[in-house]
Amino acid sequence: MMNTCVEQKMEAANAFAVKGTPKSCEPYGSGHINNTFLLICEEEGQEYAYILQQMNRDVFKDIHGLMQNVKGVTSFLRRQIIANHGDPDRETLNLVPTKDGQDYYRDSLGYSWRAYLFIAQATCYNLVEKPEDFYQSGKAFGRFQCLLADFPAGQLTETIPNFHNTPVRFVTFTEAVKKDVAHRACQVQKEIQFIREREQEMGLAYSLQREGRLPLRVSHNDTKLNNIMIDDATGQALCIIDLDTIMPGFSIFDYGDSIRFGANTAQEDEQDLSKVSLSLPLFEVYTKGFLEGSAGRLTETEISMLPYGAKMMTLECGMRFLTDYLQGDTYFHISREGHNLDRCRTQLALVADMEKKWADMEAIVEKYR
Ligand code: ADP
Ligand code: GN1
Ligand code: MG
């Protein structure tokens, strides 16, 4: 996505019904997709903080549908939180309307923006610091699935069709290798081969679904650790964020994407591959949390398929990073040369480690079934 100039972000900042006057607006967080800013406003010596986001229009083709999803889901969650005597300003995202009462603002260059209340005294982690945090996040994502089970799925727009359709991702990857627009394929033959060798496994979830053995659910679809806020004071999972990809999907992929990111002993873009491995203790605490949080709603098949969900999300993500590298880095934000290749390599190394630890992964899932 193109860089955002000061005038453009201030135009957006001034469009929302915030308290006070915008004072600063600086890049924030480490998301790979949207342009996120921390907006500070001031009124009578008091500061008010907001998250201002320019949505990625290359990735999300139907911003209106996406924002209807966000509005629908956050209002639905807000009602449930109030009914449970929780704090609705901190336990869910809250959209701040524009001055003319809309959910988002379209700027003079045609980019769309939204604003959220800033959730303070809470942290999004890129690496698990305390296993307890990861347990909490498993519980929260498991519970999130339950809460959304009662959400009218028919109202949801599919914001990215085929988002976790690994076989379709494989076709896109194969085309990227063939076209090789950035002339990089020759440097990554080993990685290409690794992915090709696992093609047969990619369709399993969809074939089980066709046979009626794996249910489609309303799912988050992007459950990595830095999409959940942990309360600094209580250490509990506070709020699930990044709702852009809520749409029908598989529970095993929500579980799997969390494992991919959080049970890795290294960061997603670590360059020293000797640091990458699947932490079985972290795998265990997350599994325990997720199964507790989903409170009996998962079917026997879904539970049996959890290790597969973890492996598939890791393989698919590695393949997506490599596809983007081959296409010249047009999808994920990068901050250095070869960033997507580094990310691809950690994912493939993690897949290889999961294959070695497969029996342990299955035994852990059985233990908490
Ligand atoms: P992306 O889709 O680019 O990942 P996110 O919606 O996940 O964008 O936001 C990026 C980062 O901004 C998050 O990882 C988090 O650190 C921060 N963030 C997003 N929303 C809020 C919020 N309401 N309060 C505090 N921080 C937030
Ligand atoms: C992106 O938006 P963010 O940074 O939370 C991506 C996910 C990937 C992830 C890899 C809409 O997530 O699918 O798994 O990067 N989101 C989208 O870190 O493509
Ligand atoms: Mg995010």
* 104: CATH: 3.30.200.20
pLDDT tens sequence across 139-183: 999 999 888 988 998 899 999 999 999 999 999 999 999 999 999
Q: From atom 7 of ligand 2, which residue's Cα is the shortest distance away?
A: 222
Q: State whether 91 and 155 are in the same domain.
A: no
Residue to probe by mutation, ligand 1, list 241, 245, 331, most atoms within 8 Å of CB: 241
Structure tokens at 350: 């993690």
Q: How confident is the model at residue 4 (pLDDT cuts 50, 70, 90)?
A: confident
Ligand 1 residue neighbourhood (C-beta within 6 Å): 28-29, 31-34, 36, 51, 93, 116, 118-119, 124, 226-227, 241-242, 244
Ligand 2 atom closest to Cα of residue 261: 18
The pLDDT of residue 101 is 98
Final residue before a domain boundary, out of 98, 120, 142: 120
Residue-wise burial string across 230-255, b where 16 or more C-beta atoms lie within 10 A, e elsewhere: bbeeeeebbbbbbbbbbbebbbbbbb
Cβ proximity of 57 and 112 under 8 Å = yes
pLDDT tens sequence across 47-71: 999 999 999 999 999 999 999 999 9
Cβ proximity of 15 and 105 under 8 Å = yes
Region 228-235: mean pLDDT is: 96
Domain count, the chain: 2
Q: Which ligand is nearest to the CA of 261?
A: 2
Task: Say how many CA atoms lie within 13 Å of 344 toward its Cβ.
Answer: 24
Residue-wise burial string across 134-158, b where 16 or more C-beta atoms lie within 10 A, e elsewhere: bbbbbbbbbbbbebbeebeeeebbe
Q: Which ligand is nearest to the CA of 39?
A: 1
SS (H, E, C) 328-346: CCCCCCCCCCCHHHHHHHH
Q: State whether 277 and 157 are in the same domain.
A: yes
Structure tokens at 294: 């989903």
Final residue before a domain boundary, out of 99, 120, 141: 120
- Does any domain span residue 125? no
Q: State whether 244 and 327 are in the same domain.
A: yes
Average pLDDT, the chain: 97
Ligand 2 atom closest to Cα of residue 227: 5
| d(C-alpha 247, C-alpha 245), whole Å | 6
| Closest C-alpha to 159, from 73, 76, 68 | 68
Structure tokens at 92: 């869910």
Ligand 2 atom closest to Cα of residue 32: 4
CA of 41 to the centre of ligand 3 (A): 23
Q: State whether 241 and 305 are in the same domain.
A: yes
Domain that holds residue 155: 131-368
Structure tokens at 272: 């020293």
Q: State whether 168 and 261 are in the same domain.
A: yes
The pLDDT of residue 149 is 86
Ligand 2 residue neighbourhood (C-beta within 6 Å): 31-33, 59, 222, 224, 227, 242, 244-245, 268, 317
Final residue before a domain boundary, out of 62, 95, 120: 120
Q: State whether 139 and 221 are in the same domain.
A: yes
Q: How confident is the model at residue 2 (pLDDT cuts 50, 70, 90)?
A: low
CA 118 to chain centre: 19
CA of 54 to the centre of ligand 3 (A): 13
Q: Which ligand is nearest to the CA of 60?
A: 2
Q: State whether 314 and 289 are in the same domain.
A: yes
Q: State whether 110 and 182 are in the same domain.
A: no
Q: State whether 106 and 170 are in the same domain.
A: no
Q: Which residues contact 83 (CB under 8 A, 6 or more apart)?
A: none
